[in-house]
Amino acid sequence: MPKSEPVIIIFACQWCAYQGADDAGNQKYCYPPDTYIIKVPCTGRVELEFVIEALKRGADGVLIGGCHLGDCHYRDGNYKAKMRINLLKRVLKDMGIEPERVQIEWISASEGKKFVKTVKDFALKIKNLEKIEKDE
């Protein structure tokens, strides 16, 4: 039986994106059911190995959510994350994995609606990748 929704792993900064997810919940906004949020202290603490492992274990996509650039609680963690994810996308391409399966997004604590829109848009993008793979 085919999956109806892609499995999405979200590494969410505890200060911003995770709080944005909490805000979405408080507002009763809905996002795809096969979405799993992992709270991290900062996006700068998300190692490339974590993302690769999530994909190897069956995640269809990985979203990293953190504070807006310039607003990191640890000064420059989100800039480090941005550089790492850009590097990871090149590595994934070399591994034969679509780099579009990984995305980084800046979401503040008060942006619950943006959190939901980001997750929904990302899930749709992943779903479209799946469709392309099946058509080939």
Residue 26 within a domain: yes
What's this model's pTM, rounded to 2 decimal places?
0.93
Residue 3 within a domain: no
Domain that holds residue 103: 8-135
Residue 96 within a domain: yes
- Give the mean pLDDT of the chain: 94
**DSSP states of 50-80:** HHHHHHHTT-SEEEEEEPPTT--TTSSHHHH
Residue 128 within a domain: yes
On whether the CB atoms of residues 11 and 50 are closer than 8 A, the answer is: yes
Residue 2 within a domain: no
On whether the CB atoms of residues 8 and 129 are closer than 8 A, the answer is: no
Pairing of the two strands 35-40 and 8-13: parallel
Give the pLDDT band (50/70/90) at residue 1.
very low
Instruction: Tell me the CATH number at 116.
Output: 3.40.50
pLDDT at 132: 67
Could you tell me what percent of the chain has a pLDDT over 90?
91
Residue 121 within a domain: yes
Residue 126 within a domain: yes
Residue 1 within a domain: no
Q: How many domains does the chain have?
A: 1
Give the pLDDT band (50/70/90) at residue 31.
very high
Each residue of 7-30: pLDDT tens digit? Answer: 999 999 999 999 999 999 999 999
Q: How far apart are CA 75 and CA 107, in angstroms?
A: 16
